[in-house]
Amino acid sequence: MASLHALIYGRVQGVFFRDFVSRHARALGLSGYVRNLPQGGAVEVKAEGERPKLDSLLEKLHQGPPGARVDRVDVEWAEYSGSFADFRIRYWD
C-alpha cells in the first residue's frame, strides 16, 4: 500500500478533470480526494491504495479527460496512512 500526492498543471479546471479523476479512482478502489487549487489553476490529487492501482491512476492523470491539456504532473510518493475511507471530490476546504 502507498500514498500518491499529485499536482496537475495545464488546462485542468473547467474541463471535468475532478470528475474524471474521481470516477477512475473509485473504479480502482482507491481512497483520497481531488480538488481544484485556487492559486495557479492546478488540480491536487491525494490517493491511497495498492501501488499498481495508483500507477494506473497516475497514467490517467497524465492523460486527462477530453478538453483538458496536461502540461505537467508533479508527484510525491509516501507511505500509506489510511486517512481516507473513500474517494471524494473536495469543493472547498
Render pLDDT for 15-73 as a digit per residue (tens, 0 to 9).
Answer: 999 999 999 999 999 999 999 998 878 999 999 999 999 999 999 999 999 999 999 99
Q: Give the pLDDT confidence score for residue 40 in this predicted structure.
A: 77
Tell me if residue 51 is catalytic. Answer: no
Domain boundaries, the chain: 2-87
For the 2-87 domain, the top CATH level (class) is alpha beta
Which single residue is written with the C-alpha cell 475532478?
18
Give me the catalytic one of 36, 51, 72, 88.
36
Span 11-31, pLDDT tens digits: 999 999 999 999 999 999 999
Tell me if residue 88 is catalytic. Answer: no
- The answer to whether 44 and 6 are in contact (CB under 8 A) is yes
